[in-house]
Structure 1
Amino acid sequence: MTLSTIDNEGRPDARVLILKNVDDCGFHFAVKSTSPKGVQIASQKHVALTFYWPEQGRQVRIRGAAIRRPDQDCKRDFLDRPLESRIGATASKQSQVLQDKAQLLEAVSSTRHKLEDDPDFVLPGWEVYAVEPVEVEFWQGAGDRLHQRLQYVAGPEAGTWRKQVLWP
């Protein structure tokens, strides 16, 4: 899925993430609080998610608020990841300039030893969010460009939705 956020200057930012879960709380994903997306969500909780299947010509767009999940969910998510994923997340200074690949390899090596010595280590700042949707749009592409678009907008009462057909 693609997560879209807004930076402090109002510029959009998008990146592909793993959808971890979908439940009554929303669409779940995990981030490092110090990553650009983590910083952006902390300052502006309104985000968008996009799922796209080019072979089927289908897209789902979701808009809503990213709500941080409880600490135990964040901890469980981190510990449930494969060791290599935990090493990568812990060792990485995500999105900072890498001067020399040797720095990265050294960080990975020292982190591997740390996590092998302490398998219950949880990266500080590891956060799981659930996007609580307020708008969901289903798009089905058509060769004649008369695409089908169904939009659901959250109603004023919890659990209520208004369905609308949109122009292509």
Structure 2
Amino acid sequence: MSADTPTPPSTPPSTPSSEPSPPSESAEPRTEFVRLLRSQRVWDTELPDFDPAVAPAEPLPLFERWFAGAVAAGQTEPHTMSLATADADGLPDVRTVMLHGADEEGWHFASHAGSRKGRHLASRPYAALGFYWPAQGRQIRVRGPVTVAPPEVARADLRARSTGALASALVGRQSEVLDSYEELERASDAAWDRARREPDAPTPSWTVYVLDPDEVEFFQGDARRRHVRLTYRRANHPTWRRELLWP
């Protein structure tokens, strides 16, 4: 600054208030949440070994082996999985659903065709699945194109399940706006009555989907954070290419 440039008047310091500022109403709950969050343990158990060198040439046998291991380890609901889809604009969504089967055709799950996931798959028939089994520090990720199984497969799927599953399918209207819970109660009671009377009652919207994977990743956690990640990628059907990934 040159000597001819007038010095701007300084801004008087603000006078501190004699009263302390009241704590934010959300400060204490947030602090408690962070404390609770950071106190949680991860894999507070002995983790199994996994040698990718002896893994099978295809992912399905390894998935079946790991699933049986999860059941033997007492993993809660190992047959549930996260299902990720995208809408017509490419916006992602995820929810937890039940695995209905896994075979040479792919990984099977079911829903109503008119549900949110059903609409997503109609416009973008590609999805990803995620299994998390903390009892053994294991994750499995599966992704690939999704096709619709024939209607007779969907009918057989419901016949093989419980009366409650059929009743739920008969209620239908999944993902639609519900005006009141009482309306759901009435529809559910009527569906249960019909399911008991008609175990083969038609459910046209009930759909079985099959995800034919082009990539499957097996993740084995390690206490020293040297996690094993083995990925199967489809080279050309039915050949798979196996690769290790950095954790």
User: TM-score interval w.r.t. the shorter chain?
Assistant: over 0.9
RMSD: 1.4
Distance 1:114 1:138 in 2: 43
Q: Any stretches of 5+ residues in structure 2 without a counterpart?
A: 1-80
In the alignment, structure 1 residue 95 sits paired with structure 2 residue 144? no
Higher-strand-fraction structure: 1
Please, which of 143, 151, 165 is the counterpart of residue 231 of structure 2? 151
- The answer to whether the Cα contact below 8 Å between 1:78 and 1:123 also exists between their aligned partners in 2 is no
Q: TM-score, normalised by structure 1?
A: 0.92
Same amino acid, percent of matched pairs: 40
In the alignment, structure 1 residue 165 sits paired with structure 2 residue 244? yes
In the alignment, structure 1 residue 76 sits paired with structure 2 residue 156? yes
Q: Deviations over 1:117-152 (max 9, x none)?
A: 433212111111111010011111223322111111
Q: Any stretches of 5+ residues in structure 1 without a counterpart?
A: none
RCO higher in structure (CA 8 A, sep ≥6): 1
Q: Deviations over 1:13-63 (max 9, x none)?
A: 111111111111011111100110111111111100111111211101011
In the alignment, structure 1 residue 21 sits paired with structure 2 residue 101? yes
Q: CA deviation at 1:90?
A: 1.7
Q: How many residues align structurally?
A: 167
Q: Give the SS at the match of 2:178.
A: coil
Q: Which residue of 2 aligns with 1:51?
A: 131
Q: CA deviation at 1:92?
A: 4.1
Distance 2:198 2:174 in 1: 22
- The answer to whether the Cα contact below 8 Å between 1:79 and 1:122 also exists between their aligned partners in 2 is no
Distance 1:92 1:126 in 2: 8
Distance 2:89 2:147 in 1: 22
Structure 1 consecutive aligned stretches of length 4 or more whose deviation exceeds 4 Å:
none
Distance 1:142 1:32 in 2: 39
